Chains A and B, each alone.
Chain A
Amino acid sequence: KNQVEQSPQSLIILEGKNCTLQCNYTVSPFSNLRWYKQDTGRGPVSLTIMTFSENTKSNGRYTATLDADTKQSSLHITASQLSDSASYICVVSGDAGNMLTFGGGTRLMVKP
């Protein structure tokens, strides 16, 4: 069964600090992995997308890594800001025609 597990479920950090969110998946065959940011009361917005051959991708202060051998991904947030408070969702696509498998998300709270 295709699954995406994220950790931690929730995280509180101080403004300006860095943090790393984890995503483990068992989706096979693998096509791509996305990280989404979802603000409270809003829909998810894509941050990064990585295919099998990519092991790192950055979007401003967000850097995603992918290890396709161990089926793990991480999202590193640098110099956190209050606006980074949101849920971060890892989403894996199985192949060209498969639908997406969603992780449960990590709820991040950045405090001043």
Chain B
Amino acid sequence: ETGVTQTPRHLVMGMTNKKSLKCEQHLGHNAMYWYKQSAKKPLELMFVYSLEERVENNSVPSRFSPECPNSSHLFLHLHTLQPEDSALYLCASSQDRRGRAEQYFGPGTRLTVT
């Protein structure tokens, strides 16, 4: 295991539902990330948190709302999603935001929007 856990592993939700994805890292890292992985597309960076402060938001729709209450936990709150939001959502952490710092990924949450 990489030291990054995600729950739930699978989630099916309707377009009017509200749900949250949870990520926890046990590595003492200072940076955490949310990625979206759609079929046959490269990983897309969604949000970056460094020392609990959001430092990057890659033009993600407002129906995705991140929250980082402390350096070990990261949430992704979901509401009024669209079917095209169905994907694997990966959380990662790294010691810091420098490019050389290796990112450790969680197992992902497979999200299906019906």
Contact = CB atoms under 8 A, between A and B. Distances in A.
A46 B102 contact: yes
Contacts of B106: 43
Interface in A61-112: 89, 93-100, 102-105
B107 to A, nearest CB: 5
A102 B43 contact: yes
A54 B106 CA distance: 28
A102 B110 CA distance: 20
Contacts of B2: 43, 45
B100 A32 contact: yes
Interface of A: 4, 31-32, 34, 36, 41-46, 49, 51, 89, 93-100, 102-105
B45 interface: yes
Interface of B: 2, 4, 40-43, 45, 48, 56, 90, 92, 97-100, 102-108, 110
B110 A41 contact: yes
A92 B92 CA distance: 16
B30 to A, nearest CB: 14
A45 B42 contact: no
Given A99-B45, A104-B41, A105-B42, A43 B4 contact: yes
A89 B43 CA distance: 9
A96 B43 contact: no
Contact of B99 (A43, A94, A103, A105): A94
A95 B41 CA distance: 23
Given A93-B99, A97-B98, 5 more contacts: A32-B100, A34-B102, A41-B107, A42-B108, A99-B56
A4 B100 CA distance: 17
Contacts of A43: 2, 4, 90, 92, 105-108
Nearest to A6: B42
A32 B99 contact: yes
